[in-house]
Amino acid sequence: KELEIAKTIQESLIPKEIPEIEGLDIAASVNPAAEIGGDCYDFIKLDEDKTLMYLGDVTGHGVPAGLLVSVANAIIYAYSHLKEIMQIMVKTNAILQAKSQANMFITLAMLSWNGKTKKMDYVSAGHEKILHYNSKKKAITELESGGIALGMVPDCSKLLKKHPIDLNKGDTIIIYSDGIPEAWGKKKEQYGMGRLRRILMDTAAHADLPAEKIREKIITDLEAFMGSTEQADDITLMVVKKV
């Protein structure tokens, strides 16, 4: 019963609906491997023009991971008034490192979108590489990752770096947790980055396909690959398309 209550509380932390953000079409979902998950995503309006969005993945899953992800969500909200994603990440890291166990940390990809200038920046804290589909070149690139997971060292300010994303109309980026490429299929093989890139290419190449349809097709392909294999890790996906 307590796990059911905890699950309900955790579900309330996930956005009920995707906010309308000028210039972007967004879809996102999380499917925990246990009653309590260790993945999260959210959207925070920083001001009239700026919106912050992030996707995080705590080590492991279950109750310990669920507790840490809830704390991380709260800290990010508390520091969102700073409006600068590097500052938010550094402040969040400092508290997580001081208050969490040595073997508990969270990888995080945080993005900042300016609806006025139509510019996107991101910071990766040891997270999976963001995939960028370029509609003009009809090609996919893996954006620079690096950084260090939050909660590992007291000060990560020199280990993180902010990068721009050159988004053109029709471009699509996906942010995801490692539960997708590392998912196991019925033939005892992992889904892998190659398959993820292929399904993104097949779907994002259709200019009229909305973000939600791209998300659905990726998840459907993943589920077909997994078949009856038990889900071993949380599966979280965010699709962001410039319109």
Residue type, 201: M
Asked if 84 and 123 touch (Cβ cutoff 8 Å), the reply is no
Helical pair 192-204 and 211-226, crossing angle rounded to 10 deg: 140
Q: Which tops the pLDDT comparison, 1 or 129?
A: 129
CA–CA separation, 155 and 157 (whole Å): 6
Neighbours of 45 (CB within 10 A): 12
Encode pLDDT of 177-232 as tens digits: 999 999 999 888 999 999 999 999 999 999 999 999 999 999 999 999 999 999 99
Task: For residue 197, give the H/E element and its range.
Answer: helix 192-204
Encode pLDDT of 92-115 as tens digits: 999 999 998 888 999 999 999 999
